[in-house]
Chains A and B, each alone.
Chain A
C-alpha cells in the first residue's frame, strides 16, 4: 500500500485492515492524530484524506490506498504557524491539547473550503469533536478569527525553549 503523507510518498507494510490511526502512529511515528475513543466518537484522530476531514480510526489502510494525507505535522512549523494554528495559539484555544489536532485539521478543511466565518456553521462542522477541557468557546472564536483573516503571524518558538530552532526537524512526519 502507498500513501502520500504530508507530501512525502510512503510505502506501508501494515496489514490492509489496520486503521490509518495505527499506521500513522505506530508504523510512521506521526503522533499528532490521537487515539481517543477509537470508535469514531471523539474526533481526536481526524486527518485530511484527499483534503477531506476523516476519522483515522475508522479508515482502513486499504480504503485509503493511494490517497494524500495531511496531519498537523504537515501544517505550519513551530516558527511559521498556519493561520488556524496561530489563531488557536493567540485565542488560547488549546488547554490539555489532546483534542487539538483533530480540531485543527477539521477547521483547516472548513476554511480551505471557504467556510468558517459563521459561528453556527463552525459549531456544526466541529460537532464531531469533543474537548473534555470544554474549551469550545475559545476554539470557535479561534476558527472564526482564522477564517476572517483576523490573525497575526505567530510562532511558538519561544515557548519551546532551547529546542525551538531545531524543533521542526525533530517532529517525525513533518516535511522539513
Chain B
C-alpha cells in the first residue's frame, strides 16, 4: 500500500481489496475517495477538510463479473461501464449526468452519495433495489451482505462498499422525468424488475435516497392491474419540495411513471 503524508493529511492508497478493508477499519474519521466526482467538489469548496483519505483507484475493486445468472459489480466500477448493464440498471446508468462524469463516477459512490443540498442523488440506487441487489460492505463488525434498501436506510454508519450483486431478472423496465436541459439531474425515476421473488419497484427522487415502493408491489402481487397498483405508489412515500420540482409535481407524476413501468414489465 502506498501512503502519502503531508502535515495535515494522510492518504492511504491500497493495492488490494484486503488492504482497503484493513485501511478502512471501522471507518471513523476516514474520507473514502472513489471516482472523486462528489468528494472533489466538497474539497474544492472547503466544505470538507479531511485528515485521513482512503483512495480506492488502485484497490482492485473495479469490474463486472457474471457467473450463471448472478452478476457481481465492484464498487469502483464506473457508471459508464454500467451503461450496457441489464435493465433497469443500464437505463439508470445512462441517465447519470453526462459522458465525462459517468466515466469518473462509481457504483460505490452512487450508493454512498449523501443527499445533495438541492436535489436527491443516487440514480443507480432505485435500479439496484428493483433488481433485489445485495451489497457487500466492510466496517465495524466486519464484512456484511444485505439488501441495498436496508443498506441505504442505515444512513450515516461508515461502511466501505465492496461490491453489489443480483440475479438477472426475467424483465426490467424504467421510466423517468428529466429536466429539459443539457445537464440531466433526475427529478423522479421509477425502476421495476420481474424477479424470482415477484415484481419489485423502487423510486429515486421521492426521498433523500431511493426507496422501495412496497405497497404498489404488494398490489401487483395481489393481482391488481398496472393502473390500480400504480395508484397506490404514494402510500408510504412522502416526496419533498426541492430545487428541481415541488412535492405536488412528484405526487402527480409518480403513479404515472409506476404505471408505465408496470405496463412495460407485462
- Could you list which residues of chain A lie within 8 angstroms of chain B, going by C-beta atoms? 15-17, 19, 22, 38-41, 43, 46, 52-55, 57-60, 62-63, 106, 124-125, 127-130
**B residues apposed to A, CB below 8 Å:** 4, 6, 9, 11, 13, 33, 36-37, 40-41, 43-45, 50, 53, 55, 57, 97-101, 103-104, 182-184
Beta-carbon contact of B101 and A130 below 8 Å: no
A residues near B43, Cβ cutoff 8 Å: 17, 19, 60
Bound-state Cα–Cα, A129 to B100, Å? 10
Give the shortest distance, in Å, between A129 (CB) and chain B (any CB): 7
Partner of B9, one of A17, A41, A58, A106: A17
Q: How far is the CA of A125 from the CA of B101 in the complex (A)?
A: 11
Bound: A56/B220 CA distance, A: 47
Establish whether residues B11 and A127, one from each chain, have CB atoms under 8 Å apart when the complex forms: no
Determine if B183 and A127 form an interchain contact, defined as CB atoms under 8 angstroms apart.
yes
Contact A62 B99 (CB under 8 A): no
Q: Which of A17, A22, A128 contacts B98 (CB 8 A)?
A: A128
Check A55 against B9 for contact (C-beta < 8 Å): no
Cross-chain contact A63 with B100 (CB below 8 angstroms): no
Which chain B positions have C-beta within 8 A of A60? 33, 36, 40, 43
Q: Which A residues touch B182, using CB under 8 A? A: 127-130
Q: Kindly report which residue of chain A lies nearest to residue B31, judged by CB atoms.
A: A17
Residue of B nearest to A52 (CB): B103
What is the CA–CA distance of A129 and B101 in the complex, to the nearest angstrom?
11
Report yes or no: B6 in contact with A15, Cβ–Cβ below 8 A.
yes
Tell me which residues across on chain B come within 8 A of A53, comparing CB atoms: 99-100, 103
Quick one: given A40-B97, A127-B98, are A58 and B6 in contact (CB under 8 Å)? no
Q: How long is the Cα–Cα vector from A53 to B99 in the complex, in angstroms?
A: 9
Structural contact, B101 and A63, CB atoms closer than 8 A: no
Specify which chain B residues have a CB less than 8 angstroms from the CB of A41 in the assembled complex.
183
What residue of chain B has the Cβ atom nearest to residue A129's Cβ? B182
Query: A62 to B55, Cβ gap below 8 A?
Result: yes
Given known contacts A58-B37, A58-B40, A129-B182, A40 and B101 CB-to-CB distance under 8 angstroms: yes
Sample of 9 more A-B contacts, CB < 8 Å, known A38-B41, A53-B99: A16-B11, A39-B45, A43-B100, A54-B103, A55-B37, A58-B41, A58-B104, A59-B104, A128-B97
